[in-house]
């Protein structure tokens, strides 16, 4: 095959693949889980100013899914107790983030602190 033809074919394949990825409008797949509890995590922030220490806390939720148990935090503006123990949720995982679908179809973006294998 002519090298120029090979180059044109490779360029076409790359452009076609890029268009296919860009045109992927599939909606995310959500899994079913439940909030099985929450605690308040206490921690200390230190600043560059000498002797300045800040004591802080944040809610740490436990979400049990079919495949794993997730400990999550930093779910937007949620405060301690925003979820109820036993509350059913729909969620998806992407990297180190867990997204919980709200009733209005928006998502709460949470950070995954730890993952344990579910014992089912």
Alpha-carbon span 13 to 30, nearest angstrom: 32
Burial of 71 (0-12, 13-18, 19+ CB in 10 A): buried
68-111 pLDDT, tens digit each: 999 998 787 655 457 888 999 999 999 999 999 988 888 889 99
19-77 pLDDT, tens digit each: 555 555 788 899 999 999 888 888 787 766 677 778 877 788 999 998 999 999 878 76
**Token pair of 68 as six digits:** 């794993």
Alpha-carbon span 37 to 81, nearest angstrom: 9
Q: Where are the beta strands (DSSP E) in the chain?
A: 31-46, 53-65, 68-73, 88-94, 97-101, 107-117
**Token pair of 96 as six digits:** 């180190």
Q: Are 39 and 101 in contact (CB under 8 A)?
A: no
């Amino acid at each position: 095959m002519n090298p120029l033809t090979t180059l044109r074919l490779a360029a076409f394949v790359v452009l076609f693949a890029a268009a296919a990825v860009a045109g992927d409008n599939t909606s995310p797949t959500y899994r079913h889980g439940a909030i099985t509890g929450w605690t308040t995590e206490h921690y200390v922030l230190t600043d560059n100013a000498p002797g300045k220490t800040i004591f802080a806390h944040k809610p740490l939720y436990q979400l049990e899914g079919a495949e794993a148990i997730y400990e999550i935090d930093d779910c937007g503006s949620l405060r301690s107790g925003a979820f109820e123990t036993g509350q059913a949720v729909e969620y998806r995982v992407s990297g180190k983030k867990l997204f919980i679908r709200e009733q209005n179809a928006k998502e709460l973006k949470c950070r995954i602190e730890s993952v344990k294998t579910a014992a089912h």
